[in-house]
Amino acid sequence: MRHVLPNGVRVIIQEFRSTEVVAVQLWVRAGSRDETAAELGLAHYLEHMLFKGTTTRARGFTDREVEGVGGRINAGTALDYTFYHAVLPKSRAVPTIEMLADISVNSVLDETELELEKKVVLEEMRLTEDSPQRFLIRQLYGVVFGSHPYARPGLGTPEIIQALKRDTLLSFYRRYYVPESFTLVVVGPVDPAEALRAAERSLGRLPRSGFQRLPAPAPATLSPRKVNMSRPGSLAYLGLGWLGPKLDHADTPAVDLLVSILGESRSSRLPQSLRERLALVNSVRSEYAPLEAAGAITVTAQLEPSNLARAEAEILKEVQRVREQGVTQAELRRAITLAEAEHAFQSETAEGRARLFGRAETVWRLAEELAYIDRLRTVTAEQVRLVARRYLDPDRYGRLTFVPPPR
Amino acid sequence: MSRIAPSFAAVLLALGLAAAAQAQEPAISRQVLPNGLTVLVREDAAAGVVAMSLQVRAGSRFESPTNTGITNFLHRVMLRGTSKRTAVQIATSYEDIGGLLDASGEVEAAEVRGQALARHWETLLGLIAEVALEATLPADEIEKERRLLLGQIKARADAPFSLTFDTMLRDLYGAHPYALQNLGRRETIERFTRDDLLAHYRAIYHPERMVLAVSGEVPRDRVVRAAERLFGRMARATATPAEAVPAPSPKGDRRVITLPAQQAQIVVGYLVPSLRDPLYPAVRVLAATLGGGMAGRLFVELRDRRGLAYSTGVATQFRTGPGALIAYLGTAPANAAAAEAGVLSELERARATPATADELARAKAYVRGQLSMDRRTNARQAWYLAYFEVIGAGWDFPERFGRAIEAVTAADVARAAERYLTQPTVVVLQPATPQQ
């Protein structure tokens, strides 16, 4: 059930009774890509600060209102959006809607809290760097997207975070956290009419801002780059990246299936070839991230440093093979079934459903998300081969390696 | 808009109807086959999916320094060939039904687990039985898996948090097998032969130490009949007496390890009783007052108030033998000393300053909430059912445990802190300056 309130706030409510908990999420059309070069990390910093208190809620409110009743709350900042997600006992749906509405516009962004949080965010940067897979993907986006905002580090830079002032954060908050940016999603054993009334009473009362978010620009064509970074450890990491279609593009379903057939499951091509037959890598996978303005297609692997060159050559060989010979009917059928299953497994939980709906409404369209599996079913093997030719150029790609320093 | 509206409405309606059909708690049935294998079925009519967990009582708890890692190694290889299928045929078989199949050896139990679209439940069950009962352990596949496991052991030793945690378990448990990693050590993984794996396979796969749990949109009676057909022919084994294991006796040491890393890790551990102990629920409430999410004392004091950490919490697990309560914290190297003093003083304060009524209520809600939060998917439901049944606590242990949590008093928590938060074992990981 989708509603648009008079001030532009979107509300999606689904009564879902095979669970004891309710998921309540607030999605905001503001992400790392909306930052200017001087504001790197602001979207993420703001997300942290929204848990620090509002004009009527003292710090520690999540303790009392969420964890104190057995629930959980957290948030995430992506390139295109930020979202706040809570799961609670079902009786808490209405108060949680009110709480999220409150933090969305009434957070005080207290000066002292802001200073204290700096240490936390600087620590988060260190933590990401200690996790090679996450760090690899982030750095690989930098290689693929070049000077586009999608190349940015979501956490910002230590220099910008150290120097961050309340005014800067406040102006970002006022600019982006407006009714036109919000989607509220409620899924669980709730009375939909009651949940809608709660949304109208809270988010529905905010004045329209008239703000129009700038669409993200299309990225420039990829300029092939090879970057090697030294990184402590005993294993190497390899990442290859290409630009892919944006979310709202006719090629998206075919690329989704292509990437699945290449390396998203155990029986898929890259793991079977590089991991099983050639014993070149410990793990290898391909991924496709369809974003609002562009997509990224990546292949990442963990391996012994001595296998780096051969592994890269073998990945490109598989790319070449799919470009020339396409995929089999059996592979295509399997990839579609796996996508259907992934959707079914995401729909098992209230928060999985809420996330599906919230993301679609924020960066896409809910109706298309719900019809997406049917669209996948219409993709042909020839279309998959064509998108392989269109997007996976074996001569033009970005490459990143993490190599252990010499001992 | 009008063009796409109908399909949108239809899909939502379908989801909505499925949801309404299932308004009450799914029922759980338990059946013991004549040969001793237990079958648990949780029928969830709205799921659209099915998940299964076949667990056997084996794992690192039953291993020793000379065969550490053998149960997990065996399970990884079981996925790599049966009397009917090769490794890649197994993978395509489960992917064709929108599924996943995996196997591993853990601490208290080993598991073959799978999930698939509900309409394929029978195919999935057949695959799980095939992997569990007809694995052929092909020699070349053993070598492939050996290479991957050695890679995993290396990666784990490169990861600051895992390395710190593993070191803590070794220091805390000493000669007790809880000190061992389920992955094993490089030396043992390099040495195991096919005969070793085969002997272990034959030693552990006996029906009376196995539990099958199925959760999802499945017809219960047909599941039980299918399980009987697939597993009923297994012969009961003569019971082997359990071997005594040495009791852990931590000395309360402090150890510093170094590794190239960005963050310092500080881990403080204590031994606590097993899940069967009457005071165990109080220990879990105590752990939640300290580390339960964003409102636990460690998070509030060390992260929120003093900005000394990014991640902090307390880990506890359901163990049949001596358990552990382990507080952990990741921080900037410059803050390490202050953070360590901070954690230790919070743990000391837990003995001196009992939980307030508010803290107690919140911690209880947190522990109970954790139980329902952790069981939101059918895969987790199946795991919970099989795990508690196979370790002998009973599949309904979580419900009984939830009621016991409710009954915990402030005096119980104080007693638990008094008795168990003594003699901390400390492990600190200091980042070494990486060579350039």
Percent of chain B with pLDDT over 70: 92
- Residue B103's nearest CA partner among B152, B54, B69, B51 is B54
- The average confidence (pLDDT) of chain A is 94
Q: Which of A205, A239, A261 is the last residue of a domain?
A: A205
- Residue A32's nearest CA partner among A182, A132, A141 is A141
Q: Please enumerate in sequence order all residues whose Cβ is within 8 A of that of A318, keeping only pairs 6 or more positions apart, or say none.
A: A262, A269, A270, A273
Q: According to the model, what pLDDT value does residue B47 have? A: 76
Q: According to the model, what pLDDT value does residue B376 have? A: 87
Backbone φ and ψ for A387, nearest 5 degrees, come out as: -70, -30
Residues of chain B numbered 298-337 and touching chain A (CB < 8 Å) = 300, 303-311, 330-332, 335
Q: Which of A151, A175, A205 is the last residue of a domain?
A: A205
Chain A: closest CA distance from residue B264 (Å):
10
Residue A160 lies in a domain: yes
Q: Please enumerate in sequence order all residues whose Cβ is within 8 A of that of B25, keeping only pairs 6 or more positions apart, or say none.
A: none
Q: According to the model, what pLDDT value does residue A233 have? A: 84
**A195 and A268 belong to one structural domain:** no
- Check pLDDT > 90 for residue B189: yes
Please give the residue of chain B at the shortest CA–CA distance from A304. B151
Residue B164 lies in a domain: yes
**B188 and B305 belong to one structural domain:** no
Q: Please enumerate in sequence order all residues whose Cβ is within 8 A of that of A163, keeping only pairs 6 or more positions apart, or say none.
A: none
Residue listed under structure tokens 């709730």: A190
pLDDT band at A392 (very low <50, low <70, confident <90, very high): very high
Residues of chain B numbered 194-253 and touching chain A (CB < 8 Å) = none
Range of weakest confidence among A245-254, B42-51, B168-177, B391-400: B42-51
User: What does the alpha-carbon distance between residue B293 and residue B370 come to, in Å, rounded to a whole number?
Assistant: 10
Tokens of A281: 């890598």
Residue A35 lies in a domain: yes
**B277 and B348 belong to one structural domain:** yes
Identify which of A125, A276, A334 has the shortest CB distance to residue B92. Answer: A334
**B268 and B224 belong to one structural domain:** no
Percent of chain A with pLDDT over 70: 100
Tokens of B165: 């945690």
Q: According to the model, what pLDDT value does residue B241 have? A: 64
Residue A398's beta-bridge partner residues? A225, A241
**B95 and B143 belong to one structural domain:** yes
**B126 and B197 belong to one structural domain:** yes
In terms of C-beta density within 10 A (0-12 exposed, 13-18 middle, 19 or more buried), how is residue A95 classed? middle
Tokens of A155: 């956490």
Using a CB-CB cut-off of 8 Å, the residues of chain A touching B114 are none
Q: According to the model, what pLDDT value does residue A234 have? A: 87
**B10 contact A CB<8A:** no
Report the pLDDT averaged over residues A279-295: 96
Tokens of B240: 């082997």
User: What does the alpha-carbon distance between residue B338 and residue B58 come to, in Å, rounded to a whole number?
Assistant: 42
Q: Are strands B38-43 and B210-216 parallel, antiparallel or unpaired?
A: parallel
User: What does the alpha-carbon distance between residue B106 and residue B72 come to, in Å, rounded to a whole number?
Assistant: 7
Residue listed under structure tokens 């939909």: A192
**A179 and A277 belong to one structural domain:** no
What one-character-per-residue DSSP string does B109-123 give?
-EEEEEEEEGGGHHH
- Angle B280-291/B410-420 helices, nearest 10 degrees? 90
User: What does the alpha-carbon distance between residue B231 and residue B134 come to, in Å, rounded to a whole number?
Assistant: 11
**A150 and A269 belong to one structural domain:** no
- Check pLDDT > 50 for residue B416: yes
Neighbours of A55 (CB within 10 A): 9
pLDDT band at A407 (very low <50, low <70, confident <90, very high): low
For B123-163, how does the pLDDT look when each residue is reduced to its tens digit (9 = 90+)?
999 999 999 999 999 999 999 999 999 999 999 998 999 99
**B211 and B283 belong to one structural domain:** no
User: How many domains does one find in chain B?
Assistant: 2
For B337-392, how does the pLDDT look when each residue is reduced to its tens digit (9 = 90+)?
999 999 999 999 999 998 999 899 989 988 988 888 888 899 999 999 999 999 99
Residue A211 lies in a domain: no
Q: According to the model, what pLDDT value does residue A63 have? A: 77
- Check pLDDT > 50 for residue B304: yes
Identify which of A18, A60, A126 has the shortest CB distance to residue B19. Answer: A18
Q: Which of B197, B231, B265 is the last residue of a domain?
A: B231
Asked if this assembly's ipTM is beyond 0.85, the reply is: no
Q: According to the model, what pLDDT value does residue B239 have? A: 67
Half-sphere exposure of B276 (CA within 13 A, CB side): 8
Please give the residue of chain B at the shortest CA–CA distance from A274. B144
- Residue B39's nearest CA partner among B25, B54, B26, B58 is B54
User: Distances in Å between the alpha carbon of A221 and those of A96, A137, A254, A320, A396?
Assistant: 44, 19, 21, 20, 10
Q: Which of A205, A239, A259 is the last residue of a domain?
A: A205
Residue listed under structure tokens 């109908």: B6
Q: Please enumerate in sequence order all residues whose Cβ is within 8 A of that of A295, keeping only pairs 6 or more positions apart, or say none.
A: A243, A244, A245, A246, A247, A249, A252, A255, A288, A289
pLDDT band at A123 (very low <50, low <70, confident <90, very high): confident
Q: Do A234 and B154 touch (CB under 8 A)?
A: yes
Looking at residue A232, the DSSP 8-state letter turns out to be S
CA B213 to chain centre: 16
- Check pLDDT > 80 for residue B46: no
**A234 and A291 belong to one structural domain:** yes
What one-character-per-residue DSSP string does A333-356 give?
HHHHHHHHHHHHHHTTSHHHHHHH
User: What does the alpha-carbon distance between residue B94 and residue B120 come to, in Å, rounded to a whole number?
Assistant: 10
Residue B8 lies in a domain: no
Q: According to the model, what pLDDT value does residue B18 have? A: 37
Residue B397's beta-bridge partner residues? none
User: How many domains does one find in chain A?
Assistant: 2
- Residue A229's nearest CA partner among A36, A367, A404, A27 is A404
- Residue A287's nearest CA partner among A274, A300, A275, A276 is A300
B344: left (phi over 0), alpha (psi -120 to 50) or beta: alpha
**B217 and B74 belong to one structural domain:** yes
Q: Do A17 and B369 touch (CB under 8 A)?
A: no
- The average confidence (pLDDT) of chain B is 90
- Residue A122's nearest CA partner among A193, A172, A48, A71 is A48
- Check pLDDT > 60 for residue B94: yes
For A174-215, how does the pLDDT look when each residue is reduced to its tens digit (9 = 90+)?
999 999 999 999 999 999 999 999 999 999 999 999 998 988
Chain A: closest CA distance from residue B297 (Å):
11
Q: According to the model, what pLDDT value does residue B432 have? A: 87
**A157 and A241 belong to one structural domain:** no
Residue A323 lies in a domain: yes
- Supply the CATH number for residue B359's domain: 3.30.830.10
**B64 and B168 belong to one structural domain:** yes
User: What does the alpha-carbon distance between residue A13 and residue B77 come to, in Å, rounded to a whole number?
Assistant: 46
Using a CB-CB cut-off of 8 Å, the residues of chain B touching A122 are 332
Q: According to the model, what pLDDT value does residue B5 have? A: 32
Q: Are strands B254-260 and B210-216 parallel, antiparallel or unpaired?
A: unpaired
Residue B247 lies in a domain: no
- Check pLDDT > 60 for residue B88: yes
Looking at residue B81, the DSSP 8-state letter turns out to be B
Half-sphere exposure of B129 (CA within 13 A, CB side): 20
Using a CB-CB cut-off of 8 Å, the residues of chain B touching A71 are 369
- Residue A271's nearest CA partner among B86, B97, A261, B112 is A261
Residue A71 lies in a domain: yes
User: What does the alpha-carbon distance between residue B340 and residue B368 come to, in Å, rounded to a whole number?
Assistant: 29
- Residue A149's nearest CA partner among A259, A27, A68, A43 is A43
**B220 and B106 belong to one structural domain:** yes
**B216 and B69 belong to one structural domain:** yes
| First-to-final CA distance of chain B | 58
Q: According to the model, what pLDDT value does residue A128 have? A: 72
Strand extents, DSSP E, A90-235: 182-188, 225-230
- Check pLDDT > 70 for residue B9: no
Chain A: closest CA distance from residue B386 (Å):
20
The residue that leads in pLDDT, A130 or A174, is A174
User: What does the alpha-carbon distance between residue B299 and residue B293 come to, in Å, rounded to a whole number?
Assistant: 7
**B46 and B157 belong to one structural domain:** yes
Residue A308 lies in a domain: yes
Q: According to the model, what pLDDT value does residue B295 have? A: 72
pLDDT band at A70 (very low <50, low <70, confident <90, very high): confident
Residue B80 lies in domain: 26-231
Q: According to the model, what pLDDT value does residue B2 have? A: 31
Report the pLDDT averaged over residues A390-398: 96
Residue B108 lies in a domain: yes
Identify which of A17, A19, A337 has the shortest CB distance to residue B96. Answer: A337
Tokens of A70: 């057995």
Give pTM, 2 decimals.
Answer: 0.87
**B185 and B303 belong to one structural domain:** no
Chain A: closest CA distance from residue B124 (Å):
14
Residue B313 lies in a domain: yes
Range of weakest confidence among A114-123, A318-327, B29-38: A114-123
Report the pLDDT averaged over residues B238-267: 86
Tokens of A303: 């391996």
Residue B315 lies in a domain: yes
- Supply the CATH number for residue A342's domain: 3.30.830.10
Tokens of A62: 């999540």
Using a CB-CB cut-off of 8 Å, the residues of chain A touching B52 are none
Residue B20 lies in a domain: no
Q: Please enumerate in sequence order all residues whose Cβ is within 8 A of that of A165, keeping only pairs 6 or more positions apart, or say none.
A: none
Q: According to the model, what pLDDT value does residue B25 have? A: 62
**A233 and A124 belong to one structural domain:** no
Residue A53 lies in domain: 2-205
Q: Do A282 and B151 touch (CB under 8 A)?
A: yes
Residue A305 lies in a domain: yes
Percent of chain B with pLDDT over 90: 76
Residue B37 lies in a domain: yes
